Amino acid sequence: MTIITADQLACEAKEFLRFKRAMGIPYWRAEFVLDEFVRFVRRHWGDHGKVMLDEVIARWCARGAGRKAVTVANEFGVVRQFCLYRRRRDPSSYVPEHALAPVKESIFLPYIFSHDEVRKILAIAGSHDGRFIWASMLRTLILVLYCTGLRLGEAARLCVADIDLGCGTLTIQRSKGRSRIVPIRADLVAELRGYAVERGRLVRERRQANPARFFLRLDASPLTVPSASNAIRRLLRQLGIKPPDGRIGARPYEFRHAFAVHRLTAWANDGVDIHAKLPSLSAYLGHQNIIGTEVYLKATPQLLELASSRFEQHLRNARPRQ
């Protein structure tokens, strides 16, 4: 039996976050979850009210009817890690079983742009005329997203120093707790060189010291993730890929999904063992493990059909001849 108070949990949560960050893990989302957890305890039992930890966690997981199972499971995972940390000092401290919130995978399937849709998006981006978002920058940003699978925030935050056009690499600084180097193709290098020339002209016209960020708005200020996201959403709505209102439909993040699925499909068409390639794709995308990459294997009917036909061919070849 583990008895706790809200004040005790708040202090231990701060220690837990310091411990994680000392290992180089930002844990920002986890901090939000733990803050919510402590507030939940305060609301129901006060600052100093003593309560059993197993009861608290069970009631916390059951709160809010209609919450998505995957959301509950992700939040539960943070609290369970916190409980494991507490057990380091007290071997008898309560740690909930995974069965309390067993769903670990989202059933969400992303929207996958077709090659034709990608071409249309690039065409309309190349003629964009906005107050702060200019055509060359927007088109180049979308090319980077589609050709590399970078997250939107990773691309928007690229600095000039992160881009080595001589070696053909992008350095992604401290994303999801670690950095990585992303090799790029020669045709993308050529596109980035072209944008770099226009960017230099813009900086000179605005009489600015050369900003650190690679992607700039028309006033030579750094491109922000919200403004990039809003500009891309407008393009998707213009093309009818996204509904005129609401949050449903294709998102800027879909370029990452399209990159992964199109890469896997190309490998499958070439007869490559895509399962053997998953670790490489996982590392390129910056996933923590291949579990996050495997979801793309079921993302499109085309990829599933290719896998099915390959398996059927394998079975035919494996049957002993009569």
151 as an active site residue: the answer is yes
Taking phi over 0 as left and psi of -120 to 50 as alpha, with beta for the rest, 143 belongs to alpha
176 is known as an active-site residue: yes
From the list 139, 151, 199, 251, the catalytic residue is 151
228, two tokens = 């990039």
Which amino acid is located at 69 in the chain?
A
What sign does the dihedral 192-211-227-250 (CA atoms) show? positive
- Please, which residues have CB within 8 angstroms of residue 276's CB and are 6 or more apart in sequence? none
Q: What is the layout of strands, in order, in the sheet containing 169-175? A: 163-164, 169-175, 178-183
Beta strand pairing call for 3-4 and 51-52: antiparallel
Query: CB neighbours of 191 closer than 8 A, spacing ≥ 6?
Result: 140, 143
Select which of 21, 42, 87, 176 is catalytic: 176
Q: Which residues are catalytically annotated?
A: 151, 176
